[in-house]
């Protein structure tokens, strides 16, 4: 199971959140503490960030190498500064291709999306049903084969069909997934972090199984006026466990809001 990271707050170098913490995303890639499936996250990674001074789409850097083997990322991380960062290290489901089309973050317009979890026997269970839910433009948006990108497709489908918020689109997508899973008696988990550069919207959610770990931290001394959401605590501090079956949202005011999904 993958490990996720979201940051929103004062501008920081990527290095300060990816490498410097004692239990950084790099460490979690080879020595995770709270994974319920798998041992390491060695099947690629992705980093996404926004530049607040430019009216541009977000930037991403991805690789199919283990994150600890990428020799370019440390140099990039000491150069790039951002107020909003998403990170992801992958532990691929058996049978899923290890290629760039399956690397997260997935993107649409100014949105970035990362997912940690699974859909039980995805190709044999909900693959066709999920694709059938998608409008043609969203269907064409899905390039890879993972359950993660198809959950992303459900989210974008909701967001583009109606004039709704990111939180509502995520909630609706997860409710749709529950209805599909009920019919086929399929387990799934969906820890997700989404951003448009101005907010973080996350879920800790599962159906008929235990959701993966997810925590949030606000206004740490080393990261003042900032919020971090992560699969595991990055360092010793006053981390809060995200409640199961909930959506966690953070806006520009730094306030953390938690709402039930079902």
Query: Residue 99 — very low, low, confident or very high, per pLDDT cuts 50/70/90?
Result: confident
Confidence (pLDDT) at 261: 93
Query: Residue 66 — very low, low, confident or very high, per pLDDT cuts 50/70/90?
Result: very high
Query: Residue 54 — very low, low, confident or very high, per pLDDT cuts 50/70/90?
Result: low
Q: How does pLDDT run across 203-233, given as a tens digit for each residue?
A: 999 999 999 999 999 999 999 999 999 999 9
| The one catalytic residue among 2, 84, 103, 242 | 2
Q: Is 2 a catalytic residue?
A: yes
Query: Residue 103 — very low, low, confident or very high, per pLDDT cuts 50/70/90?
Result: very high
Query: Residue 125 — very low, low, confident or very high, per pLDDT cuts 50/70/90?
Result: very high
Of 172, 170, 179, 203, nearest to 189 by C-alpha is 203
All structural domains of the chain with their residue ranges:
3-260
Average pLDDT over residues 55-64: 92
Q: Would the pLDDT of 16 be above 90?
A: yes
Rounded to two decimals, what is the model's pTM? 0.96
Q: Would the pLDDT of 187 be above 80?
A: yes
Query: Residue 154 — very low, low, confident or very high, per pLDDT cuts 50/70/90?
Result: very high
Class of domain 3-260: alpha beta
Q: Which two tokens stand for residue 72?
A: 């370019």
Confidence (pLDDT) at 53: 61
């Amino acid at each position: 199971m993958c490990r996720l990271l979201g940051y929103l707050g004062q501008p920081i170098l990527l290095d300060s959140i990816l490498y410097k913490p004692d239990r950084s995303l790099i460490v979690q890639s080879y020595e995770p503490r709270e994974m319920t499936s798998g041992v390491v996250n060695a099947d690629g990674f992705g980093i996404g960030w926004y530049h607040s001074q430019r009216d541009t789409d977000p930037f991403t850097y991805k690789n199919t190498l283990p994150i600890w083997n990428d020799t370019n990322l440390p140099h990039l991380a000491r150069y790039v500064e951002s107020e909003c960062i998403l990170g992801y290290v992958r532990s691929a489901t058996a049978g899923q291709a290890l290629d760039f089309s399956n690397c997260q973050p997935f993107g649409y317009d100014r949105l970035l999306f990362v997912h940690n979890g699974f859909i039980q026997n995805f190709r044999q269970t909900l693959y066709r049903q999920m694709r059938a839910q998608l409008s043609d433009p969203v269907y064409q948006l899905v390039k890879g084969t993972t359950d993660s990108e198809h959950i992303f497709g459900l989210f974008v489908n909701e967001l583009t069909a109606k004039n709704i918020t990111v939180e509502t689109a995520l909630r609706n997508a997860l409710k749709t997934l529950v209805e599909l899973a009920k019919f086929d008696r399929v387990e799934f988990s969906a820890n997700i972090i989404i951003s448009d550069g101005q907010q973080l919207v996350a879920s800790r959610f599962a159906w008929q199984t235990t959701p993966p770990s997810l925590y949030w931290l606000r206004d740490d001394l080393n990261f003042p006026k900032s919020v971090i959401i992560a699969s595991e605590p990055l360092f010793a501090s006053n981390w809060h466990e995200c409640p199961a079956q909930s959506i966690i949202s953070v806006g520009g005011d730094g306030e953390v809001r938690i709402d039930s999904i079902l």
